[in-house]
Amino acid sequence: MAHSKIDNTFNGAMDKLKELSSVFRDGGKLEAACGDDCDLGGVRSAFEELMGAMREAHTEATMEESINEGGIGNIHAMISSADDPAEMVMDLVDKGDAIGNYLYGELEQLAIEAGKTFNNAESMPEDFVDELLYNMGIEESIVDEADIDENAFNQAAAAAARAGKDSFEFGGKTHKTTMKKDTAHKLDDDIDVLKQLAGL
């Protein structure tokens, strides 16, 4: 069903519900005519619940249609605007609606690409959320342990070069200092600039 047909159908039904519910509004003519003989609060609550269910169904139907048409920009926008995008992804997955099923499928595909499955708790969907957010362009980078180790090694080498030492200890081993002093100072300057930009 085309997106506009879904919208038109739900919007038309919602307009009719609003019109009908206005008959039972607080302080309306029906309530005035009934006086204390009828309590319309339950009817109003039922209409509110029904309209809430209609809005949710409308959202799910149009989202599923958008996903089927390849229009996932709304999902990206919703996740990227969240205070905690990773938590938002898992909340949507847990909800299990069209968006949640789409995201679960994306996480499952990442697991398969990594040679893992969600069966037998070999891995869990949340294990791949950071990678999903990175692929969606929401998170800027995925921290790689190898990069951290390389940076720590370079910092140790730079400290030794700045101190004029011939060797330094790293990872339980002694390494020869081959970094030039000016390179070590430049590396230190770059780190200081990054710290300033990060507000540290």
Q: Please state the domain extents for the chain.
A: 3-68, 73-135, 145-198
Q: With a threshold of 0.75, does the pTM exceed it?
A: no
pLDDT at position 187: 67
d(CA 178, CA 157): 8
Q: Which positions of the chain have pLDDT values less than 70?
A: 1-4, 59-74, 119-121, 139-150, 187-200
d(CA 69, CA 47): 32
- Sign of the alpha-carbon torsion through 185, 187, 190, 192: negative
Q: How many residues does the chain have?
A: 200
Longest dimension (CA), the chain: 97
pLDDT at position 141: 47
d(CA 90, CA 103): 9
